[in-house]
Structure 1
């Protein structure tokens, strides 16, 4: 959720309704995608717009927002009939102690400074709040969004706003971060220095992982189908949790697997001595890169072992470190690792007028982030400017 002021290209948005004094809001249409994609790239990729980048971004937005059958994304049309702003919205289903709830997951939220005079953002949010949803959530709000949304009674989840990073190879991780920031930086120039530093550091520093798992616990690689089958049962101890219908979770995982920035998507399970899966994880990773956690879940007694399995899997793959969104339920177990750091990565907020939902959020009794957010989409990180 990122309300911003940026400039997009000229032109009209096809199919806009008759403009009101400050513009109007309507659902996203296929004819809007080119300008919405250009607006997105201008702000979030900050590069000169290329036709193929706009086309690729528009195609992905079509798949994400229009092809699923339940389009909830919104555009604001200014009084001149042009694009004033956009809000990416994905519909999800939650349940609270057995009661079904409709949820809106808010993603990119942006306005065009060349046409907007401060009305587009409030109009988009007001329209969204007047809709069919019982709760609204985001896990990617920037600091502008925090100031913008909290007066509208969004509850902030501070722990979920943090990102944790565990460093395996300090030199190689620094090189990977530099390459991520400046892709043109030659890997050959950084690699030898990073390897020399890590060889020296390896003799002086303790291993970053301090396993706490019992020998009766073991870890195995699993596939997306096994992950999808087991995850709902592992999150059953949350009062406020997703309610995926048949086929929804596998489809969501298939979309998440399209993300490219951090490598392929991998799945793992943690098993007890009886062979029962007591925890699972999913992360993006590849040798020489920084692994990125998508989802991890376990009941209380098995969080530590499941984290051990996640970090061990990333190290064995050859990743130089791992990063992921923090959750209240496994935060204490993270303190068992050294070379671990925290930083603010994006605000996680929830809004609901239902008292029981608001109370569950205050108590931290909500499954949120990962698949119930928008960081899994390609819009969160991928470079659409590749030919």
Structure 2
């Protein structure tokens, strides 16, 4: 499509058609698919063996709420010629704007195929069917290397910086123990915690305080709630050319869904203000004492990214978290480099596809708000164990 400067609203998105071929068909997800899709998800991403029936039921219920309760399903399933589930692609509808022009976006979440029933056709079929929809851009922030192999030939642009995860360590021993316990919940804490405390005592009890970044204004940190965060975040991201367009209470509803995630503790909000009370930055993170905090979203204005990051780290430390992890983004990298005990690793591919030249150029130049709430890592599918009580 050609991009103009009008402010017309997005066109209605019709469901992708049912696509048939000799290798199977692709159609929108239905209620009848949920149990099989949930079972495939747990096999591919959780490797769960215990309490499997309960986990399938809970995963299916969450998928129903995530993909079906909003009306017409955007998620897709591939059915092989024998009538069995061959693959699944989770899709959430979103709205963006580029310099005032409304755009329809598809956020791609879990993308999986069943190796027992699929012979290499399900993945390409799902992507091709998705691309037949009336979306202006397609994005994901959690693609694994298999998904990258499917998507790159289909002209998805990779955002290398956003593919990384940063980790700031407060107490090395306690953080290692927390990560081991999360991976193997059966490990006894009585064996891990004393060793962690002893290591941290030898290492100097606590890591160095975070660097304090200079700012042209005196700033102070203050806690805020979800409603205040939803009010202020859009104002702070207004300098991105390609940014979300949340309307009619959409952002508060999204934050309420994000707050259901359980793996890393409750969702907390905070911000920094100048002496006049003007909000200069805000953040949202999951955290609890003794655990690893997980950043959902951080946004600063102008030269205040560093002070916003300092406030985030201070809030997590004061809560008793042993460290914090978060997705990297271009405007945050200089501030991350100035902190001690910050490490980076590859966490998942962030990619965008669009046939609109102006959108592709904004992506290439990094002038896009992506990740966090404009991705799928905020969903329970990204981390939660559906088999636990």
| TM-score of the aligned structures, taking structure 1 as reference length | 0.93
- 1:152 shift after superposition: 0.5
What per-residue deviation string (whole Å, max 9, x for no partner) do you get for residues 294-315 of structure 1?
A: 0000112110010010000000
- 1:44 shift after superposition: 0.3
Q: 1:18 to 1:323 in 2, by over 3 A?
A: closer
Residue 246 (structure 1) aligned to one of 233, 248, 273: 248
- 2:106 matched residue in structure 1: 104
Residue 157 (structure 2) aligned to one of 143, 155, 163: 155
- 1:213 shift after superposition: 4.9
Q: 1:302 to 1:18 in 2, by over 3 A?
A: closer
- Preserved CA contact (<8 Å) 2:169 2:207: no
- 1:181 matched residue in structure 2: 183
| Alpha-carbon distance in 2 for matches of 1:78, 1:310 | 48
- SS of alignment partner, residue 301 of structure 1: coil
- SS of alignment partner, residue 177 of structure 1: helix
Q: 1:134 to 1:19 in 2, by over 3 A?
A: closer
More displaced stretch, 28-37 vs 110-119:
110-119
| Alpha-carbon distance in 1 for matches of 2:372, 2:381 | 14
Residue 66 (structure 1) aligned to one of 65, 68, 71: 68
- 1:132 matched residue in structure 2: 134
- 1:312 matched residue in structure 2: 314
- 1:10 matched residue in structure 2: none
Residue 92 (structure 1) aligned to one of 91, 94, 100: 94
- Preserved CA contact (<8 Å) 1:208 1:339: no
- 1:20 shift after superposition: 3.7
- 1:382 matched residue in structure 2: 384
More displaced stretch, 191-200 vs 156-165:
191-200
| Alpha-carbon distance in 1 for matches of 2:309, 2:194 | 31
Matched, 1:343 2:345: yes
- 1:6 matched residue in structure 2: none
- 1:21 matched residue in structure 2: 22
- SS of alignment partner, residue 81 of structure 1: coil
- 1:294 matched residue in structure 2: 296
Structure 1 segments of 4+ aligned residues over 4 angstroms from their partners: none
Residue 362 (structure 2) aligned to one of 360, 363, 384: 360
What per-residue deviation string (whole Å, max 9, x for no partner) do you get for residues 8-47 of structure 1?
A: xxxxxxxxx7964111111000110000000000010012
- 2:11 matched residue in structure 1: none
Residue 230 (structure 1) aligned to one of 229, 232, 235: 232
| Alpha-carbon distance in 2 for matches of 1:300, 1:40 | 41
- Preserved CA contact (<8 Å) 2:20 2:26: no
User: Number of aligned pairs?
Assistant: 371
5+ long unaligned stretches in structure 2: 1-17
Question: What RMSD over aligned residues (CA atoms) do the two structures have, in Å?
Answer: 1.5
- 1:333 matched residue in structure 2: 335
What per-residue deviation string (whole Å, max 9, x for no partner) do you get for residues 258-313 of structure 1?
A: 00000000000110121111100000000000000000001121100100100000
- SS of alignment partner, residue 303 of structure 2: helix
- 1:370 matched residue in structure 2: 372
| Alpha-carbon distance in 1 for matches of 2:315, 2:353 | 36
| TM-score of the aligned structures, taking structure 2 as reference length | 0.93
| Alpha-carbon distance in 2 for matches of 1:155, 1:284 | 29
- Preserved CA contact (<8 Å) 2:78 2:125: yes
Within 5 Å, give how 1:144-223 maps onto structure 2: 144-202=146-204, 207-213=208-214, 216-223=218-225
Q: 1:251 to 1:62 in 2, by over 3 A?
A: same
- SS of alignment partner, residue 231 of structure 2: helix
- 1:69 shift after superposition: 2.1
- Preserved CA contact (<8 Å) 2:19 2:26: no
| Alpha-carbon distance in 2 for matches of 1:301, 1:262 | 30
